[in-house]
């Protein structure tokens, strides 16, 4: 069985020396935009978002998957807060690691966050990527409106385009395997779970609901994002909107 073989062959007895152990330089901490050619959108400071200030226990108690949303838009301040909670960079250490608002094996943080924006005040609808170091957004040019294609890739789930925003997490795998070899494939899935759970909890504080999405056509999603699955691949999605 493929799943059983994956678990077996990523156990420690099967692992050879990692690229880090071989002295190979580590990959960049994030996918850097071409700052001379690509327009970056500065996000407002995340602490400026108006929030309900819910106690953590209340947020955990309220956490549930919500698949239907109101037509109210998200504000850009609220989006900034949610991005901070799910991948916010608290510190860059000697250009070798980032400390973020979510855990990651060895502080490797292999995730990249893409956003299908449907209704965010101050942002045009479309596809964006979060530039975590710098807390900015990069709009990704696409010849056609991406929403219907992403919904189709998610097996037609209407909440993908009914949401205010749909979060899409990918893994740049060599960020993780550089240190952990093939076992790193296990860790990126764990990291995606950490990010999505933070989104569920943080959403309660801005009166939003979330639904995680694991049913999607991997190849189609990678093509829509314009990524090479040998180097970067889609892991997980989550829809979000006002209750």
Does residue 164 carry a pLDDT above 80? yes
28 CB-near residues (< 8 Å, 6+ apart): none
User: Residue 229 in contact with residue 219, Cβ under 8 Å?
Assistant: yes
Q: How many residues does the chain have?
A: 243
Domains (ranges, CATH) in the chain? 2-31+38-242 (3.40.109.10)
pLDDT score for 85: 98
User: Residue 118 in contact with residue 125, Cβ under 8 Å?
Assistant: yes
Looking at residue 183, the DSSP 8-state letter turns out to be G
pLDDT score for 146: 96
pTM beyond cutoff 0.85: yes
Number of helices and strands in the chain (H, E): 8, 11
In whole angstroms, give the CA distance from residue 237 to residue 31. Answer: 19
C-alpha 175 chain-centroid distance: 15
In whole angstroms, give the CA distance from residue 59 to residue 210. Answer: 12
Q: What is the pLDDT of residues 84-132, one digit of tens each?
A: 999 999 999 998 999 999 999 999 999 999 999 999 999 999 999 999 9
Average pLDDT score over the chain: 96
Q: What is the pLDDT of residues 184-241, one digit of tens each?
A: 999 999 999 999 999 999 999 999 999 999 999 999 999 999 999 999 999 999 999 9
- Answer left, alpha or beta for residue 8, where phi above 0 means left and psi between -120 and 50 means alpha: alpha
- Residue percentage of the chain with pLDDT more than 90: 92
pLDDT score for 230: 97
Q: How many Cα atoms within 13 Å fall on the side-chain side of residue 161?
A: 16
């Amino acid at each position: 069985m493929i799943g059983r073989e994956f678990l077996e062959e990523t156990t420690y007895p099967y692992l050879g020396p990692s690229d880090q152990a071989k002295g190979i330089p580590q990959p960049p901490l994030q996918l850097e935009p071409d700052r001379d050619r690509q327009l970056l959108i500065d996000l407002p400071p995340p602490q400026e978002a108006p929030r309900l200030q819910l106690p953590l226990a209340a947020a955990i108690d309220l956490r549930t998957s919500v698949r239907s949303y109101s037509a109210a838009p998200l504000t850009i301040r609220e989006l900034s807060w949610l991005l901070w909670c799910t991948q916010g960079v608290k510190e860059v250490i000697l250009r070798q690691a980032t400390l973020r608002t979510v855990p990651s094996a060895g502080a490797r943080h292999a995730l990249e966050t893409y956003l299908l924006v449907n209704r965010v005040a101050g942002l045009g609808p479309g596809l964006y990527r979060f530039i975590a170091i710098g807390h900015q957004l990069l709009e990704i040019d696409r010849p056609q409106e991406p929403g219907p294609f992403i919904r189709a890739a998610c097996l037609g789930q209407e909440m993908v385009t009914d949401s205010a925003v749909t979060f899409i997490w990918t893994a740049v795998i060599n960020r993780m395997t550089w240190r952990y070899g093939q076992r790193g494939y296990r860790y990126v899935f764990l990291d995606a779970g950490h990010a999505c759970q933070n989104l569920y909890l943080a959403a309660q504080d801005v009166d939003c609901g979330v639904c995680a999405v694991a049913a999607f056509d991997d190849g189609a999603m990678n093509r829509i994002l314009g990524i090479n699955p040998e180097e970067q691949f889609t892991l997980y999605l989550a829809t979000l909107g006002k209750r």
